[in-house]
Structure 1
Amino acid sequence: MPFSTASHASLAAYANAGNSLILEHILDTDGWLETLRDLLADHDVFFVAVHCPLDVLIEREKRRGDRPAGSARRDYETIHAGKVYDLELDTGEGIDANVERLLAAWRTGARSSSFR
């Protein structure tokens, strides 16, 4: 079984056992969003996009040294394509502002993302 399949199944198992989860996951592989949507269909999923300026991503890519050159730009241009989020945040707005926005949006209970 591929690691991603097992990892996704374990997330569903945690949620099905009554645990609340906060998950950071880059859905960069075809089918992962649909798999998670199916596995978590019985749970309240609040789907949030986190955006970061391209120049910051490119600098991080260089500093890490373990990423193929150009992968930051490729991800920046494609990672959010076709996905609908309950909330979109921008790292340039700062942590405090983003936390406030996230909590306020989550508390409304409104959900209209790709998970619905």
Structure 2
Amino acid sequence: MQRGKIIFLNGVSSSGKTTLAKTLQARLPEPYYWLSVDTFMDMTPEKHMSNDDDEVIKTISAMYRTIKVFSDMGLNTVVDDVFSVSQELLDECVEILHEYPVLFVHVTCPLEELQRREKERGDRTIGQAEEQLSILLPLDNTYDVTVDTHNDTIEKCADKIIELLDCHNNYTAFKILWKQRNK
């Protein structure tokens, strides 16, 4: 069975990952299942989230393994995540998925727009996006493609990603990150 493709969206809070994921689902001719770190975090009982970092790490690890299972079953996914602070989690994700068809997408927009979106949403900690900007991993910006959800429409960002999906030569970022990690 052919593995399902993985569109892995990485960007700070309020950068447009969720909107982009839903737009991709609507525009792609084949089904793509949306797996979001927020959904996985919401599954964890709140009383265990606030005082147990190990529970958070286990939850995120479970998401990476779920992505692998979907792909192994031939199911395409679009993943919405933010790699910040924990190099170990990025390393774990790369270890699990480096042999899979992962298109690693950096989702970005200017700080001023991130701040405006945070205020408009009302469900985010003000300043969270700015704080994440300086610690977004990978620090060397190893991505297959970067999209700017402020300077381009969300549809144009989706089209830029869709154009890359049919050529497996475009799926290199996780392989590069894997080689860097294992030098």
Calculate the TM-score normalised by the size of structure 2: 0.55
Percent identical: 23
Match of 1:32 among 83, 89, 102: 89
Could you tell which deviates more after superposition, 21-30 or 98-107? 98-107
For 1:89, which of 147, 153, 157 is the aligned residue? 147
Q: CA RMSD in A?
A: 2.0
Equivalent AA in structure 1 for residue 145 of structure 2: L
> Of Structure 1 and Structure 2, which has the larger fraction of its residues in strand?
2
User: Structure 1: 5+ residue runs without aligned partners?
Assistant: none
Q: Secondary structure at the match of 2:134?
A: helix
Aligned to 2:62: 6
Structure 1 outlier segments of 4+, above 4 Å: none
Deviation readout 1:80-111 (Å, 9 max, x if unpaired): 52340000011121123222221222333223
Q: Normalising to structure 1: TM-score of the pair?
A: 0.81
1:44 aligns with 2:101: yes
Matches for 1:91-110 after TM superposition, within 5 Å? 91=149, 92-110=151-169
Alpha-carbon distance between aligned partners in 2 of 1:103 and 1:88, rounded to the nearest angstrom: 13
Q: CA deviation at 1:56?
A: 1.4
